[in-house]
A and B are shown apart, each in its own frame.
Chain A
């Protein structure tokens, strides 16, 4: 058996009386899309924050490529190969699309202490950034300010920044949020191919997308994983239907 690329072991996180993550263990294997679904407030984003190092769990472990990264800061985890996107876009709004992706490239190359040469003229940074933009189809708007982008384009740019890192694993928090039917479909096609580059831990509310994409699904309810399985298994699961899927399945 090969080591999972990304793994959590018994992650627990409490906010006062509220248990946002309770003994969450899951893994992400090479080549797969592992979707995490669950109702609003189930603790999906909180789990991702802990995986990426922006929140620290009260108990449990996060492992990346077989190594314990629980005590690493977010920046170190990113350098170790974690590429994430945010539920609410986190972009430098005053900057251009290209500048936002060059930032990712700069993080990947890891040499920010250069004070003289122009960042946008650095061939290495620029190639990396432009490749990522080409992959998500944003080349045409590279010179636009991020603030002037449509919501959908910002979601694509989120993904492009993560791509520019060439990560070992993607962690995506609702990449389809607010995309509309057409946008969701395109993003679905795109993510499906992306899993060949690196596996994706995907939090998503859009069930069509999840069922189309996921190799495995974990269902999170009140901070606990109540089921993990293939699409067919999850659709058939009684508890999951009751807790979450309702009529949809």
Chain B
């Protein structure tokens, strides 16, 4: 299989290796902050991998993906908050206790954000183009303001979680262990996404983005295909939100902000829309720029803007497209 690997395959492998080597080096050099930065890259990449399924494969420009990120974050925040205050989330009609267990938090985050994506998708997919963008944006704002006014969970100030949630067999407080966990999740999701892209569903979705009318005339429903893509997409971004909250041990309404929705769109465009590793490369470049350029000048976003402009004008395939050329069909 390795012998038949495409150029893009090698690039992807190199990206993964780089993402693994940097924090290991940081561990050896005793630079824990670099490990935290690498973890940030991995989690943002995961959020953007989720978005890429809607945006890159389904052609759905969602300016509301922060909703799912925020839901994932608040799923973690709320469950952990109750666990650390020894209160229950609700007592009636059934008793739900808080938890500090990551797997449980993840499950709740994924299910809750998938449900939200289903509802938002059903309503938004009645429209397309600019209207779709605006409806998803409106949902984002609704959740943002709701979170701000939800005083039970900190309102505008958000929630602080004192101790990172636990995972069986690991000490998640050790930065490299938490990094490893996030990295493993990213790899698993990338693997599943790669399968999805080649699957019958992926093929149909890909066509539904390009020529919905053709998809209809072979007897498939393009809107339903896009809806399922939107739900999968939201669930992955939601999972990333839960991890992000655990990374910072803090959740706040900014996780729901439209700026964050825009930010992960930027990650995807930077790296390459519709490319498996586009979001990963995009996240890495973004965090590196944010850290180094941001340290040099307060106006680093202008430079990000310039890079983005160049990519949109001259390299539609993003950084991955520039390095690997046009995407090729796999057998």
Chain A residues within 8 Å of B, Cβ to Cβ: 52, 54, 73-76, 78-79, 84, 86, 90-96, 98-100, 102-104, 106-108, 110-122, 125, 143, 161, 164-165
Contacts and interface: CB of A to CB of B under 8 A. Distances in A.
Contact of B204 (A86, A93, A103, A161): A103
B218 A103 contact: yes
Contacts of B210: 92-95
B198 interface: yes
B96 interface: no
B117 to A, nearest CB: 16
A100 B329 CA distance: 12
Contacts of B228: 113
Q: Which 3 A-B pairs have the closest CB atoms?
A: A107-B218, A78-B219, A107-B219
B217 A103 contact: no
B207 A117 contact: no
B220 A120 contact: no
B203 interface: yes
A106 B329 contact: no
Interface residues of B, number: 27
B211 interface: yes
B214 A118 contact: no
B225 interface: yes
Contacts, number: 117
Contact of A116 (B199, B216, B225, B329): B199
B330 interface: yes
A112 B200 contact: yes
Contacts of A99: 203, 206-207, 329
A75 B198 contact: no
A78 B217 contact: yes
B331 interface: yes
Contacts of A98: 329
B161 interface: no
Contacts of A100: 207
Contacts of A92: 206-207, 210-211, 214
